[in-house]
Homo-oligomer: A and B are copies of this chain.
Amino acid sequence: MNRLPLPTVTRLCNIYELLMKLESQSGSFISSSELALRLGIAAHSIRKDISFLGEAGNTGAGYSVERLKGLLRERFAFGEEKRTCVVGLGRIGSAILENSQFAAGEFKIVAGFDSSINRLETIKTDVDLFPAYQIAEIVKRLKINFAIIAVPPSSAQDIADRLIEGGIKGIVNFAPVVIRTNKDGVFVKNMDIAGELRILSALTSNRSV
């Protein structure tokens, strides 16, 4: 099986998310053109993406929703619990810690870290909290694979390095600085709110004149 390109992986994730919402109707089928319509992606892209998964069995009625979900789960380990931590428990970090989206989903937040002991003592949460100097040790011990970083920009890269040292495979970074990793098999998604607003504003000004 070959490694898939990022746009294909992203689209297959979107397909999986859509199929999860359709869960109630079991035994049903969905066509590539219905997937295309709902996701805003060309139907031929969807057929090609799904073909990477193996024999998805497209009949006249379309793909079996159950079979397609099963293939996606198998390929990407969807549905398995992913142990996740939050580093930096300021306003954004502690909001994420308590986000109900995570309480229900497969990304279970099992630890929070902050460099301020005072902050660790005052936050009320059911999640176990630890001082930031223990990151590598706790990540390794609790077998945490994913992390959300919400620390000041000056310490974000150092925090990422320590997370990766502990064995983290994926990082979502809210610090307004680009985190880099050269380690194979470790992926970072930088989510800079002000940076995204800047791109939106540039697109707005980017008119044909």
**A contacts, CB < 8 Å to B:** 1-4, 6, 9-10, 12-13, 16-17, 40, 75-78, 82, 84, 90-92, 94-96, 98-99, 101-102, 105-107, 145-146, 148, 169-172, 176, 178, 180, 185, 187, 189, 191, 193-209
Contacts and interface: CB of A to CB of B under 8 A. Distances in A.
**Could you say how many copies of this chain the assembly holds?**
2
A201 B148 contact: no
B84 A91 contact: no
A24 B94 CA distance: 34
5 contacts: A4-B206, A99-B193, A101-B194, A102-B194, A170-B197
Nearest to A90: B95
A6 B194 CA distance: 17
